[in-house]
């Protein structure tokens, strides 16, 4: 009984860790895309 409960705790911890990693990865991707867009806007302004 206790071992199955412990197993559930492990799976929840793994899911939580995996979700954190994916959210962190998505956040970094969004930040990178925003920075690239800002750089493109600056380049367009400098051309004008």
Cα separation, 35 vs 32, in Å, equals 5
pLDDT recorded at residue 5: 57
pLDDT recorded at residue 44: 84
Domain ranges (residues) in the chain:
1-48
List pLDDT tens digits, range 1-48: 555 555 567 788 898 999 988 998 888 889 999 999 988 888 888 876
Cα separation, 19 vs 26, in Å, equals 10
**Can you give the pTM of this predicted structure?**
0.48
pLDDT recorded at residue 4: 56
pLDDT recorded at residue 32: 92
């Amino acid at each position: 009984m206790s071992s199955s409960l412990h197993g559930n705790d492990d799976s929840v911890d793994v899911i939580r860790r995996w979700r954190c990693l994916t959210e962190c990865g998505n956040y970094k991707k969004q930040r990178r895309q925003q920075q690239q867009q800002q750089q493109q806007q600056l380049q367009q302004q400098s051309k004008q």
